[in-house]
Structure 1
Amino acid sequence: MIVTTSQRAGMDVKKRAAAEANVLGARYVERGKLSIAKMTNFHNCPVLLVTEERMELHDMNGASPFFFHPGSAMFRVKRLLNGEPDAFVDACRLQSGMSFLDCTMGPAADSMTASVAVGPKGYVKSIEANHVVARIVETGLSNWTEGPSELLKSMRCIHVTAANYHTYLQTVPDDSFDVVYFDPMFEKRIDSTGIEPLRPFASYSDLTIDAVKEAKRIAKYRVVLKDHFRSERFAKFEFKQHIRKTSKFHFGTIESRSVHE
């Protein structure tokens, strides 16, 4: 991957782009007059575009770039604040003050929603396998300024870690989080404008029995899986599938031993 700027970028943006390249272990390249498409072709790699407003990750196929935006979290949070239900929050049974581990952060819509649900006394940690995606989202969570104040405050409270969750879970002590959450890439594709730009950079490492075992060890209350309603993962890993007749994705839960103690 290389890092560059918009064509008319000022010195401040160029310095920031060079700094991002250093953080990410990438090479900074002056933009010149080349289009992003020509840069990806010439350098034969993705391009991280740094502008005054945001960072965009462009793949080599000319698809829409990935950048941070609250997306569905914006209206989901507004509904929560109005006292309306959210299927994800209900499945996780999130309450004020709880701790939540998101093993598959992606664009962080669920992490943002969880952070609002658990409130300022709660704790949300989000794991992302792609270190560039993690950097883009972490920066966005820190700098985004539009939306309800509760959402903005909750964004700043999310702790992002770039790591493979399979490895990360092995380092976490027992009963460290109230809820552990998985939202892996679906086995059966669902068209979603919100997720499309992420697809070229997403991790397709499948959920494993070892990861579920580690999650059960870590979760005080429950492990939650979001997946396509026809996914075999629910049965394979012994999640109780919660049927949602009008939705293409369902949630599955494994209640922790702590719930019954």
Structure 2
Amino acid sequence: MREVKTIVTTAGRPDDLSLALAAFACEQLDAPLEPRKKRSVRKISQELHANVIVAGKNRFEYYAFGAEEPFFFHPNSAAFRLKRVARGEVEPFLEAAQLEKGNSVLDCTLGLAADAMLAAYTVGEVGQVVGLEANPNVAFIVEQGMKSYDTTELPLTACMRHIEVVQAEAVSYLKTLPDNTFDVVYMDPMFEEIIEEANNFEALRIAGEHVTLTDEWVREAYRVARKRVVLKAHFRSEWFAKYHFQQLTRMTAKFHYGVLVVDGSKY
């Protein structure tokens, strides 16, 4: 099977900024620059059998090979969820994680970082939030997006800037860590069943890595966590029972959170 490589190109009519951003992406991703030459992104992708990173004037976009729509960073649900938390309303993720100021959080599946932003808000400047993303192109898009996304909304901006993005596969990264490194380890694998209402995640679903929960992943997460391991999955998922998570049911939600409280014993 022919390998799908990654190349970088510019906006349709590149200016100096677009060219500079393209050069930066090439350096960060160790990818070649392909001049646009008035071609569509789809044509470039097909001609070169490649994933395409587009350095536009306002943002980076990632066209995974064969994808119809680009993946780009947007805070998505984080903005209104943070506003609810600021008003004192219950947030299911935070209810499951039970975070406190100064805590440390490892998000094993960063995605668009909405949950990581909520974690960053809760643990504060003295806390730590690290987000893992296995796909290097997705990691690049999200990291650069959180650094440059133009918003005057606080605390959203501060939360985005506080997250450390690490390009790594979750289990491999967990294996490098000592016991009890993070207060909370969070896992949100791609759902086994597609949630129809979540169509805004379709570009991420195509672009991102498709991983499933494994015995090793849960065991390593439990070892690395000091307080608890939190899982997000479809409400019908067998993972909750299989791995002994306490499933926090919500009658109107199609995904639930599950909790493993670390009690000092081996998983």
Deviation at 1:258, TM superposition (A): 5.2
Residue in 2 aligned with 1:220? 226
Displacement after TM superposition at 1:147 (Å): 4.5
- Which among 27, 31, 47 is matched to residue 26 of structure 1? 31
Conserved? CA contact 2:67–2:206, under 8 Å: no
Q: Aligned AA for 1:46? A: N
Check the 8 A contact 1:95/1:118 in 2, yes or no.
yes
CA distance in 1, matches of 2:181, 2:65: 40
**Inter-partner Cα distance in structure 2 for 1:242 and 1:19:** 43
Deviation per residue, 1:211-257 (Å, 9 max, x gap): 11111111111000000001111111111111111110011110001
Q: How does 1:60-99 map to 2 (within 5 A)?
A: 60-99=65-104
RMSD value, Cα:
1.4
Aligned to 1:253: 259
Which of residues 146, 149, 152 in structure 1 aligns to 2:154? Answer: 149
Counterpart in the other structure of 2:3? none
Q: Which amino acid aligns with 1:132?
A: N
Counterpart for residue 216 of structure 2 = 210
Within a 5 Å distance, the mapping from 1:223-242 to structure 2 comes to 223-242=229-248
Q: Look up the equivalent residue of 2:170 and give its one-letter code.
A: Y
Q: Could you tell me which of 180, 192, 201 is aligned with 1:187? A: 192
Identity between Structure 1 and Structure 2 (%): 43
Q: CA-to-partner distance for each residue in 1:38-86, whole Å, 9 max, x for gaps?
A: 1111111121111110000013334221000000001101111111111
Gaps of 5+ in 2: 1-5
Report SS of the residue matched to 1:89. Answer: helix
> Is 1:114 aligned with 2:119?
yes
2:204 alignment counterpart: 198
Give yes or no for contact 1:127–1:162 (8 Å, CA) kept in 2.
yes
CA shift for structure 1 position 193 = 2.6
1:17 equivalent to 2:25? Answer: no
Residue 250 of structure 2 is aligned to residue 244 of structure 1: yes
Separation in structure 2 between the aligned mates of residue 45 and residue 206 of structure 1, nearest angstrom: 25
Equivalent pair of 1:74/1:147 in contact (CA under 8 Å): no
Query: How far apart are residue 148 of structure 1 and its match?
Result: 2.4
**TM-score (normalised: structure 1):** 0.95
The aligned amino acid for 1:256 is V
Contact 1:111 1:126 in 2 (8 A): yes
Q: TM-score, normalised by structure 2?
A: 0.93
SS of the residue aligned with 2:203?
Answer: helix
Q: Which runs of 5+ in 1 are unaligned?
A: none
Q: Distance in 2 between matches of 1:196 and 1:117?
A: 28
Q: Is the 8 A contact 2:230 2:259 kept in 1?
A: yes
Alignment correspondent of 2:169: 164
- Asked if the contact 1:221–1:258 (Cα under 8 Å) also holds between the matched residues in 2, the reply is no
Amino acid aligned to 2:180: D
SS in 1 for 2:200: coil
Measured in 2, the distance between the counterparts of 1:159 and 1:242 equals 28
Distance 1:151 1:216 in 2: 30
Larger mean Cα displacement after TM superposition, 177-186 or 30-39: 30-39
SS in structure 2 at match of 1:166 = helix
